[in-house]
Amino acid sequence: MRLGFKVWLDNGGKAFGEGPYQLLMRIEKAGSLRKAAIELEMSYRKAWLLIRRCEERLGIELIERRAGGIAGGGSFLTQPGKELLERYGQFRKEAGKALEGVYKKHFP
């Protein structure tokens, strides 16, 4: 037996959780929403809609498009997007640790 959990930010519905977190992580690394979506076996459209919905519910822009050219353009995280990624990452990690402690107390 083990603990299962999910944490997310809510603002009139799910505003940011595990899915968008994984997506933003990959966009930051790959410099591309398209590549990030492929890595998560998600359609480009679904990934794009997910980000858009988060942006609406959070009230901040998370990613920006870079114009084409030799490298073919791509997407990158905005400053508020980077800050959210960092902050949520820390929150998620500490949430897991806190929950494991509570879980072990009640289900030793």
* Residues making contact with a copy of itself (CB under 8 A): 1-11, 14-15, 17, 58, 87-88, 90-91, 94-95, 98-99, 101-103, 105-107
Which residue's CB is nearer to a copy of itself, number 69 or number 101? 101
C-alpha radius of gyration, the chain, whole number: 16
Q: List 66's β-bridge partners, or say none.
A: 74
The whole-angstrom separation of Cα 47 and Cα 30 is: 14
Minimum distance, C-beta of residue 15 to a copy of itself, in the bound complex (Å): 7
Minimum distance, C-beta of residue 50 to a copy of itself, in the bound complex (Å): 16
Residue 47's CB is within 10 A of a number of other CB atoms, namely: 23
φ/ψ of residue 77, rounded to 5: -80, 140
Which residue's CB is nearer to a copy of itself, number 17 or number 31? 17
Minimum distance, C-beta of residue 68 to a copy of itself, in the bound complex (Å): 36
DSSP class of residue 76 equals E
Which residue's CB is nearer to a copy of itself, number 59 or number 68? 59
